[in-house]
Amino acid sequence: MFQGISIVTFNKSFKTEDDCKQYLFAMKWKDGYKCRRCGFTASNKGKTSYHLRCKVCAYDESVTAHTMFHKLKVPLLKAFGMTFRLSVRKKGMSTVELSKEYSINQKSSWLFKRKTQEAMKSSGEHLLDTKVEVDEILIGGPEKNKRGRNKGDKKLVVIAVEKVKGDKIGRAYAEVIQQASGDCFKPFFERYIDKDNAQVITDCWKGYLPLESEFEIRQKPSNGGKGFPGLHLVIMNLKGWLRGIHHHCSEKFTNGYLNEFFFRFNRRNFLTSIWHKLIERFITSQPYNYKANAL
């Protein structure tokens, strides 16, 4: 497993396409081989050194098949480099920077970044389960009347931050919602908050009250964010980052940026393994379907 955040060490470890394929090969079949077609668990060498062929049905599987590296438009070596930059750099990298640094056109770098953001989506395995502070924010413009009907081009985002060990900030998640109502909060709460163990704290907005039947909810005044200093800090960081890189984009793409921000944020204390974790996601996620996620 590659560990570290140094680009020099990274470049030494991955010099060729084969270096990348070897790494993927070790990861993909680390728990042993199983044929996708017939389920048999023994294989021979396949078409290349980076294929395995089933001993029974002869199904040949490449190291990138059924992963997000399938039919990649850029060489693996560049994809590895880009995922490294996008995961270990505190602020990630813009598509313009990526295309300059890796000599690929803007469209390819944009598509690859979209794919990476998809891989960065929460697995849903780590629910927030302590004190969880929740609020909504508007992104893409000055924050006024966030719960009103006129949000214009801005997107309403719900954000949840857990407090661990006293008052330290733990994990956090955020997602675009249509409006600040119980119906819109509910899927977000169910996806990210442990209903049996979490104590949710919100400001005094009535939109959270319908969730009281499922979640333990306590309300207290926000006082312009002062009542929720940890949450407020995370929001300031998120907004600062978005202002730096964010261009006008649709709701679906805004969620991509939120996924990217919180993937890094939730691993800020485990940076040396963050790239490996991201590659693991690329391997275990299904190939990214650009058509289904219509551009």
Residues that bind Zn ion (CB under 5 A): 35, 37-38, 40, 54, 56-57, 59
38 or 233: whose CB is closer to Zn ion? 38
Characterize the bridge pairing of strands 155-164 and 131-139: antiparallel
CB of 28 to Zn ion, least distance (A): 16
Our CA angle for 214, 219, 224, nearest 5°, is 135
59 or 253: whose CB is closer to Zn ion? 59
63 or 79: whose CB is closer to Zn ion? 63
CB of 33 to Zn ion, least distance (A): 10
CB of 54 to Zn ion, least distance (A): 3
Contact 136, 147 (CB under 8 A): yes
Adjacent-strand bridge partners of 256: none
Contact 282, 84 (CB under 8 A): no
CB of 29 to Zn ion, least distance (A): 14
58 or 236: whose CB is closer to Zn ion? 58
CB of 58 to Zn ion, least distance (A): 7
Please report which residue ranges of the chain form alpha helices under DSSP H.
Answer: 7-13, 17-28, 76-88, 95-101, 106-119, 182-192, 229-245, 251-265, 274-284
- Which residue's entry shows tokens 């199983």? 34
52 or 132: whose CB is closer to Zn ion? 52
